[in-house]
């Protein structure tokens, strides 16, 4: 239950605009399908991907070690804004400029440690966030590894 709270906190903290996706744009649902086919590790949370026009829906899942991950599409310009807010420099992953930054904060349910990335693509941006409720490992390294696997598939 606490992990679900972490995911929901991450969702609330992500004040993003989810856009409908066209053929050449990344789709959150594509990431869900990579998990469903086993190409990315983890278990989709119940209710994800959402039914209906799932191509522009957020996707959330948990890995076996309790890491929660959420991804969605954001409005144009938020990628560079995130870099400015977090004082992060872009790095190149899968031929894309990606902002990756970590932060920690405390919520009523306890501490939350997260690493988020934002990738600008055409007029949209794709955000992925890893979050845990106990300090462990290097979340940003984990996220970078996931991005290296996922980005070529999501933005082709």
| Measured distance CA(72)–CA(52) in Å, rounded | 16
Query: pLDDT digit string (tens) for 105-156?
Result: 666 666 777 777 777 655 556 677 777 777 666 778 888 887 887 777 765 5
pTM of the model: 0.55
What fold is seen in the domain 2-154?
Protein Transport Mog1p; Chain A (3.40.1000)
| Measured distance CA(67)–CA(61) in Å, rounded | 8
Query: pLDDT digit string (tens) for 6-43?
Result: 333 333 233 222 323 333 445 555 666 777 777 776 66
What are the b/e assignments for 112-146, b being 16+ CB within 10 Å?
Answer: bbbbbbbbbbeebbbbbbbbbbeeeeebbebbbeb
Evaluate the CA torsion angle 140, 144, 150, 151 in order and state its sign: positive
């Amino acid at each position: 239950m606490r992990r679900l709270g972490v995911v929901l906190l991450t969702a609330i903290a992500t004040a993003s605009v989810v856009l409908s996706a066209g053929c050449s744009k990344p789709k959150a649902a594509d990431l869900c399908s990579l998990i469903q086919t086993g190409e990315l590790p983890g278990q989709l949370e119940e209710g994800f991907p959402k039914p209906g026009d799932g191509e522009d829906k957020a996707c959330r899942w948990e890995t076996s070690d309790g890491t929660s991950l959420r991804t969605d599409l954001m409005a144009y310009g938020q990628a560079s804004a995130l870099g400015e807010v977090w004082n992060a420099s872009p790095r190149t992953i899968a031929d894309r400029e990606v902002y990756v930054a970590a932060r920690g904060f405390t919520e009523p349910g306890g501490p939350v440690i997260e690493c988020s990335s934002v990738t600008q693509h055409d007029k949209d941006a794709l955000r992925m966030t890893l979050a845990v409720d106990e300090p462990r490992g290097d979340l940003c390294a984990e996220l970078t590894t996931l991005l290296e696997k996922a980005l070529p598939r999501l933005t082709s």
